[in-house]
Structure 1
Amino acid sequence: MSADTEALSYLSGGNGMDIVQRWNDAQPTELSEPGAHSSPRARHGHPLWDAAQHHRNALADPHRAGAAHEASLKAVHDRVQSPLTPALITRELVSVWLPEPLGIHRSAVSPMPLVAPHTPARPLGALLSTLHPSTDPGPHPDPGPNNT
């Protein structure tokens, strides 16, 4: 990816987790998991997430299985202004890696902030104890009634 470009990615993982990403000038600017309200991370707004939520709310049953994925693909479709068909997204896509011109120095990619920080559903439980393996001598044999 080079300067003055925008790249969109919809990664459908084999583990059931999908990720939608937007990159500007080789820097990540938006990342989310379709339908996971605690997942959006973004810099300077999250137009793909917002568009996906709009498309999902327009569906007859926005909570049916696959609705979040369908809505996210529609958001990407709107952004690239090109049809995304099931045949297109399930086959291999041609990729090209272009060498970067000499003298270009990229800054390190820093993690994006959470849009809505996730709060645990319940607090952590009480601390039971600590284990110090270097000072713990391990189990002690039972002296028994005659070994006291």
Structure 2
Amino acid sequence: MKNSGDPLPQGIEIGALSRIIRQHFADRIEQVIHPLGLTLGQWTVLRELKRTPGASASELARAAVHTPQAVSRLIRTLQEEGLVERSPARGRVMDNHLTPKGHKVIDETFTQIEARLAPALEKFDRANAEEFRRLSHLLIEALEDPA
């Protein structure tokens, strides 16, 4: 389809820009995690467990935007690698936690990812970075509002 030069509707344009930003971030993250033998899905589960220790597979699936079945497979693989441990919690629900090795891996990746992102983020002065953060949170809240 040929581009007519007409601007995209505002919501579509913001969505397209968000997808482009997300892809660039994912590329930087993958540059760090692939040499460690991690996939983006596995890293996302580790990141969410760092933020929410004890989260269930269903809770992790919502946060990681995956199906519970996919997250369960990711957790099993991470458990086999010694990065995650599981324990019974509420009935059939299992709590998931990072192991010491899992904490070490996620902390190291955070440091390396920040270093990879630093050159791009240095183009933002403090005021612009704060404004971007504020507007991003505002958009997230608006999109989460069911009204």
After TM superposition, the score normalised by the length of structure 2 is: 0.28
**Hey, which of these two has a bigger chunk of strand by percent?**
1
**Hey, which of these two has a bigger chunk of helix by percent?**
2
After TM superposition, the score normalised by the length of structure 1 is: 0.28
